[in-house]
Amino acid sequence: METLKTHVVHGGTLRYLKHDSPTTGTPMTLSVFVPPGEGPFPVLIWLSGLTCTEDNFTTKAGAYAAAAEHGIIVVAPDTSPRGEGVADDDAWDLGQGAGFYVDATEAPWAKHFRMESYLTGELIALVDAAFPTTKVRGISGHSMGGHGALTLALNHPELFQSVSAFAPIASPTRCPWGEKALGAYLGDDQRAWARHDAARLIEAGTAHGVYDEILIDQGDADPFLAEQLKPELLVEAAKASGQKITLRMQPGYDHSYFFMASFIADHVAFHARRLKG
């Protein structure tokens, strides 16, 4: 991986990195924060939402004071492949910046949009090879990234020991954002969509017993709450399957990084207890 720039923050080191990905067939960018000390350290992977790059979380979430305190490496990848020759769409909720953390099977997306394989295979291996990790990791994210964190943790429980989310798209098979993206990337067969729907996975008991608790924060002033996010579907699924979910409805908070910055320390501590315990 090529280091593009480096900053010292809260006694640790923040690097912006770039590498050529054989999985996506494109250059991919990310940021990695390593806390002070010799390590090794557990890892928290953060997945961002629609339109974001690795820079949104890195500069706005304010996660690194807590990560330094708890001794956690934080990895924030980009949300999709990008560049010349990569398929895109004029709409902001599809294409570049909107990878939805799935492996696309439909043209023109299938050639490059392989974010599930990139994250669960290539990225984890690169980080473990380049940084002092314990090879123990959690995953979190916001909105589209919250969807990705939940579905990747549920589908790959061997890779993650903890999972949380901010304002996740709880059931993309039952909301406009998800129906549009999954239809484009995976085609018309909705049986293929179910594997990427956190509420349906939880209801089916996927990875039941692996995660002692899933933490979710949601602002009650979020403009996307009723139509797109639908966290009540996660609660219903958890009751049906016995999976413990803690849904914290935060009064007055919206969908912005101000919301995440207000509660990110809680999430870092949540993961630290599980990754270091």
How many Å apart are CA 261 and CA 242, to the nearest integer? 30
Q: One-letter amino acid identity for 23?
A: T
The residues spanned by each domain of the chain are 2-275
Q: What is the pLDDT of residues 19-46, one digit of tens each?
A: 999 999 999 999 999 999 999 999 999 9
**Which residue do the tokens 């910055």 mark?**
261
Place 207 in a pLDDT band, splitting at 50, 70 and 90: confident
Q: Is 224 left (phi over 0), alpha (psi -120 to 50) or beta?
A: alpha
pLDDT tens digits, one per residue of 157-166? 999 999 999 9
The rounded distance, in Å, linking the Cα atoms of 165 and 261 is: 13
Q: Are 210 and 216 in contact (CB under 8 A)?
A: no
Look-up: residue for tokens 């001794």?
71
For the annotated catalytic residues, the residue numbers are 143, 222, 255
Question: Could you tell me the two tokens for 133?
Answer: 């990790």
* pTM (predicted TM-score): 0.97
Q: How confident is the model at residue 277 (pLDDT cuts 50, 70, 90)?
A: confident
Give domain 2-275's CATH architecture: 3-Layer(aba) Sandwich (3.40)
Phi-psi group of 246: left, alpha or beta (phi > 0 → left; psi -120 to 50 → alpha; rest → beta): beta
- At 174, the pLDDT band (50, 70, 90 cuts) reads very high
pLDDT band at residue 209, thresholds of 50, 70 and 90? confident
E strand or H helix that includes residue 257: helix 257-276
